[in-house]
Structure 1
Amino acid sequence: MSTIKERVERSLDALDTGRPLAALVDEIVRQYPDPFILANREAARLLLKHTGKVMDPRFVWWHQFESGSSSPLTFNGWKHSGAPVKSMGLAELVVERFDVQFQDAPDQLDQIGGFYRQGARVAQFDERNEVHLLGREILDDLWALDFAEVYRAAIERFWSDYGRHFRVIAKINLLGQAAKALGRGLISQLDCQRLRAVAANGLTTGVLPTLALLEQDATHPPLTVSRYVFGETDRGSLYRLTAADGRVVLYMPWSHEAVRGFDSELTMARWLRQHLQSTQAQQAFVEGAHVNPRDDSGRRLIKVHLQGIADSRSDEMAVVALSLFKREPGKALFEVLVDQVLIEMRQTAEVIQSNAALRKAMWQGYLSAFLKVFGGFAPLGWPMSLTLLGAGVGKVGLDVDAAVHAVDEQVRQSALRDAMLDSLFTALNMVDIGFTTSFGSLAYEAPPHEIRASLGQWQRVRSATLPVEGQEANALVAGEVVQSGRLRGVRLGNDGSCWITLNGLNYRVRYSHELSVWLIVPQDNPFAFTALHPVRLSDQDEWELLEPPRLLGGAPAVAAELPSLRSEFWDTYCRTELWESAKLSTKAIVRQKNVLVGAGVVELAPGQVYDLDARGLPCVLRAGRPVYSYRRGRQFSNALIEDYTHEASKVNDVFRYGTYAHPDMDDYIGRLADTLEALPANNAVTLYRGGHATRGTGGEGYRSGRLQVGDMLVNTDLSSFTENPYKACEFASTGSGEEEDGEIRGFDDSSVIFELPAQRYQGGRPISPFSIYPMEAETLFLPGRYFRIESLQQIYGEGYRFVRVQLATVPEPGTAIVHDLRTGQPFNRDIYRARFRNQAVADRFIPAAGGGQR
């Protein structure tokens, strides 16, 4: 048996165990009662209620001024100028509420304040940057909401519904920490065995920690628990686990070396005494023990107690000093940890401003002092609950301030997930397997169309042209073909990659643990978001590609000679699935942010504020020139793109109809194009664009046969594509918006979806991190990009049909007739140029040499 085969089999076995646990991590991350995320969601609901739009609350500010001027042009009748006396984001307002003096005088809110899309540094606050919200209505909504009670209820619901799962992930973290400590020589093999026995019965050396094992608590744990409490505010920085033979394991959840073994209590005290003599080590202990950065007295007390241990005259005296802080909870380790976490969460809830506290402040005539709580997973610092799950502040890849005060839901949850999965990866001993794709296999979140697929009725593809054509390997794949087991018929590469031979060609495959089947995947990205291409071995040991069966009633009629195809992929995404759509968009946002960070988008230093250009727009000045794209950590800003996404139809009205909402639109378009061209172009993922006759973008020309494979298209406006197929279906449907969650959307003969396969296009700029509507997962193409129609098909399923137009970008159209991507009509450059007041704008995007039909 080859070493490669052994390692691949070990990897598959570990993933059989690990994938259900990874799904549990996803559930915990999604359901964790994070006060920021809860506030952000409530803020988004307020925006949807009052504006009808799914906006990102981080783009909406409440500004409060000394006075205001009446204005017939603004939504609330008032405009303001100069610096606000108070500013906060909408989600922050949900937590902190309006000042107490406005609770009895709500009409004053609209006179001295308003909601705006720009921060406090801009000069003017009026109809150009207002958000259509009224302060008095939001005040009523906040009273009705009572966010403090929402948060308290979320905490109790989390522990009621997911407390058992929390313990499982906490056990995984301890097992991962133990495996790391064993590898570093910090604990003995016996210590590791005992820690595994603390987690669950039957978890002996070599046994994988399955979900079923970890859901059961150890009945006779070999280690008893003591806790050291260095002050009333100590949230659980140091636990001592003692065996009957006197051997001790220290557990410090906050530390990057969380477990450490000792022969006895005396040797443990010696290490602590010496370790705490380091100022840096002592400070780390204080940070681990003390949660509230505003409680200086509590912090000082803990530091004094730790210093007393460090100053002990001998190791024996250190034992005595430690005994003063030792507590015997009389419970198993994970009961103690859960108790401490629940106390911390409830303390967090107590400092959030509630209706009851606000009523008391109103009755007393002043606003009682209370802790500013907004901006983190807990108002008082990084929560121990996340640390116990393997997501300590140092491990999530953010510095302390960014981790506690970050306002980026997607990045926060992604970082948490990766940190927790790292512990799982280690607990499963997958580090030793050594394949670069091993962590990716564990971290991979199967998309909805893979999770829900039912392959029982799928049949062998009989078409002469296979749907996977073009994905075959160009080079010869060396390696052994396995003859038995799950890997039978699979050729193994030296890097652990898996390959099959289908019709004489080599294809890369990935094992789907959700479907228990091999799938053909892109050779350079086995985890790419793509349609399913399952394969099986025939009775003759030949690989066969499978496809879904046709509907009993056959395919819908089509005028042109278009092939009609069933698609499990589109069976999923033609439904209204709000939660699953949000998950896909979130992944796209995280991916786009990674692209932008990698491209070097300007980052503001801690404490640095943005500059203002000559028009008062936020930017960063470089050699006196404004750079509009910048970021603070993983939060991106670009005022020009924000304006475009807020009023996209007004910008594109110039390109489509020559309609100008503002006299300076040509100038704005030029500056917007400049800032977009400065962003990185990226073609790593497949993009989609939905069209329908009601939006002026229907597919009648493709269905009728007027537009055919090989024809050329040009986009004549700012053209949006999405990474999220749910969104494409939304724009390709009849758009009633009344479908229940889970229902098929409405489609008709004008429904069309354009598809740009990964690596087959150029010029797309990822803009979702800058967008007021980030969940559209948007990539934007400037006008003047040429597309060739690569294939045309009717895609159909139960209750839906549309024409799929697969495109690829080309540099120039040559002598071919060019059609408008949006309308499908022949493109006439003279008519196009005449729409612009400054025809140089049109020439910039589609110069004369680019032709089109004159």
Structure 2
Amino acid sequence: MNSTEPRPLPNAADKATLKAIANKVILACPGLQDVAHEIASDLLKQHGIPHLDPDHIYFHRFDAAQSSTKTFTGWEHIHAKPSESTTLTQLVIHRFRATDQDNADLLDLYGGFYTAGPDATNFNETNEVRLHGNDVLKSFWAIDFSTLYTDRLTAFWHDSGTDFRTLAKCNFLIKAVQARDKRQLSDEDFQFVTQQVMGPISWPVSLQYLQAEHPGTDSIRTLDVAGYVATNALRFVAPKGRQIVYLPGDTNAFQVLETATDMHYWILQRMNREEAREAFMTHFSLTDRQNITENITDLMNQLVSTWGKYDHHLINQKNQLILGDAFSWLRDSTEAAMFDEAALSLTSNSDLRKKLWIGYLSAGMKIFSPMAVVGWPIALPVIG
């Protein structure tokens, strides 16, 4: 079908079902920040503070404190800059330090909850939130947010994985049609990319068609930069080397690159400026984003120097085939990326227990190390 020809609309029942599926998936999808905000809000309600947004409540740490009869905690921090700050929402995710567990009584002395951010200089009864650090710490143990969130994530993918895949396929087709209508994809490009992942399209598109899996071809590859593989991008390689990249969620979801040099330059443009790089990095796992950020100067130097030499080995060096249904791959890689984010970001009760025991064992080794030097038989009289 040419882009100028009208496309028959899907039947009303399919359209209504698809809309219901989309609403269900969107509402059920447990974003890490959203769930943490929900739990933090519930915690505030439990402590009689229902009117404040946990994104605008800060837990600050200080190096010193002054006693005060006016504050909730009995301490204030005047003409002071916090040594460390985080929002209550972020604190739900990352938890208090392992060392705080045995020194919870000091959380009110050297820390506190405030509505004023880290740029303020006075922290007292004028901006405090009436929470005791020790009470919040105990609540975190009871909540065990890491387990709660992981359970929600597991349930979501179990219950909604198939629907997520259907929506991913629907979104691809919508974006492809829009790109063709805007002439960002030619008619030939449109036919090429849709044929690879969907096979022939019969208009109007039915819900059954969107739900069906289609075996992909060897033209469908991953996108990678210096070996870091994007988790939610598709790359289509035409027989003569022309490449089309699909980036779901981007304003211009399809990018057409005529040559390997064009691909390299496009990557450089996405990586060179911080704002563009942050948007591009959303297509990679949190682990890879952190590694790229830590090594960005060296990576950019390599990308620039190799581009100047027409050396493109850093771009798509893995060149992995996406085997099977492309939208099933998008679903599975997105699921893996969400669990990766959770594993890196969250601190569970079990993690804290391990850190506490490591601390106890380290302290024990310091006590017993002199005895280890002389050996247990000789050491026994020392403690006897």
| TM-score, scaled relative to structure 1 | 0.35
Give, as a single letter, the amino acid of the residue that structure 1 aligns with 2:98.
V
Cα distance between partner residues in 2 of 1:275 and 1:246 = 14
Residue aligning to 1:231: 226
Cα distance between partner residues in 2 of 1:322 and 1:79 = 54
Give, as a single letter, the amino acid of the residue that structure 2 aligns with 1:344.
A
Give how far 1:107 is off: 1.3
Residue aligning to 1:521: none
Residue aligning to 2:352: 358
Give how far 1:56 is off: 1.9
Residue aligning to 1:153: 151
Residue aligning to 1:110: 108
Give, as a single letter, the amino acid of the residue that structure 2 aligns with 1:82.
H
Residue aligning to 1:35: 32
- Quick one: structure 1 residues 294 and 140, their matched pair in 2 at CA, closer, same or farther if it must change by over 3 Å? same
- Give CA-to-partner distance per residue, 1:620-656, whole Å, 9 cap, x none: xxxxxxxxxxxxxxxxxxxxxxxxxxxxxxxxxxxxx
Counting only pairs closer than 5 Å after superposition, residues 379-778 of structure 1 correspond to structure 2 as: none
Q: Does 1:259 align with 2:254?
A: yes
Cα distance between partner residues in 1 of 2:316 and 2:120 = 58
- SS of the equivalent of 1:62 reads strand
Q: Does 1:335 align with 2:331?
A: no
Give how far 1:292 is off: 1.2
Equivalent residues of 1:181, 1:260 under 8 A apart: no
1:271 to 259, 282, 285: 259
Counting only pairs closer than 5 Å after superposition, residues 33-182 of structure 1 correspond to structure 2 as: 33-51=30-48, 53-83=50-80, 84-182=82-180
Cα distance between partner residues in 1 of 2:25 and 2:53 = 24
Cα distance between partner residues in 2 of 1:97 and 1:139 = 8
- SS of the equivalent of 2:261 reads helix
Residue aligning to 1:241: 236
Give, as a single letter, the amino acid of the residue that structure 1 aligns with 2:269.
Q
Give, as a single letter, the amino acid of the residue that structure 2 aligns with 1:231.
A
- SS of the equivalent of 1:101 reads helix
Cα distance between partner residues in 2 of 1:56 and 1:118 = 12
- SS of the equivalent of 1:115 reads strand
Cα distance between partner residues in 1 of 2:95 and 2:315 = 45
Counting only pairs closer than 5 Å after superposition, residues 793-832 of structure 1 correspond to structure 2 as: none
- Quick one: structure 1 residues 166 and 310, their matched pair in 2 at CA, closer, same or farther if it must change by over 3 Å? farther
Equivalent residues of 1:32, 1:158 under 8 A apart: yes
Cα distance between partner residues in 2 of 1:165 and 1:41 = 24
Residue aligning to 1:741: none
Number of positions where the alignment pairs a residue of Structure 1 with one of Structure 2: 342
Cα distance between partner residues in 2 of 1:144 and 1:285 = 39
- SS of the equivalent of 2:47 reads helix
Cα distance between partner residues in 2 of 1:362 and 1:328 = 44
Give how far 1:128 is off: 3.9
Residue aligning to 2:210: 214
Residue aligning to 2:21: 24
- Give CA-to-partner distance per residue, 1:103-129, whole Å, 9 cap, x none: 101112123322223334445434443
Give how far 1:274 is off: 3.4
CA RMSD of aligned residues (A): 3.9
- Give CA-to-partner distance per residue, 1:500-537, whole Å, 9 cap, x none: xxxxxxxxxxxxxxxxxxxxxxxxxxxxxxxxxxxxxx
- SS of the equivalent of 2:229 reads coil
Which structure would you say has the larger Rg? 1
Q: Does 1:280 align with 2:263?
A: no
- Quick one: structure 1 residues 272 and 171, their matched pair in 2 at CA, closer, same or farther if it must change by over 3 Å? same
Cα distance between partner residues in 2 of 1:23 and 1:105 = 50
- SS of the equivalent of 1:88 reads strand
- Give CA-to-partner distance per residue, 1:552-592, whole Å, 9 cap, x none: xxxxxxxxxxxxxxxxxxxxxxxxxxxxxxxxxxxxxxxxx
Cα distance between partner residues in 1 of 2:230 and 2:241 = 25
Give how far 1:237 is off: 7.5
Where structure 1 has 5 or more consecutive residues not aligned to the other structure, the ranges are: 1-6, 262-267, 367-854
Cα distance between partner residues in 2 of 1:110 and 1:184 = 59
Cα distance between partner residues in 2 of 1:213 and 1:276 = 36
Where structure 2 has 5 or more consecutive residues not aligned to the other structure, the ranges are: 1-5, 361-384
Give how far 1:161 is off: 1.7
- Quick one: structure 1 residues 303 and 149, their matched pair in 2 at CA, closer, same or farther if it must change by over 3 Å? farther
- SS of the equivalent of 1:338 reads helix
Higher relative contact order (CA 8 A, sep 6+): 2
Give how far 1:43 is off: 0.7
Residue aligning to 1:378: none
Greater helix proportion: 2
Runs of 4+ in 1 over 6 A off after TM superposition: 13-16, 245-248, 320-323
Equivalent residues of 2:226, 2:317 under 8 A apart: no
- Quick one: structure 1 residues 308 and 157, their matched pair in 2 at CA, closer, same or farther if it must change by over 3 Å? farther
Cα distance between partner residues in 1 of 2:192 and 2:217 = 6
Greater strand proportion: 1
- Quick one: structure 1 residues 280 and 215, their matched pair in 2 at CA, closer, same or farther if it must change by over 3 Å? same
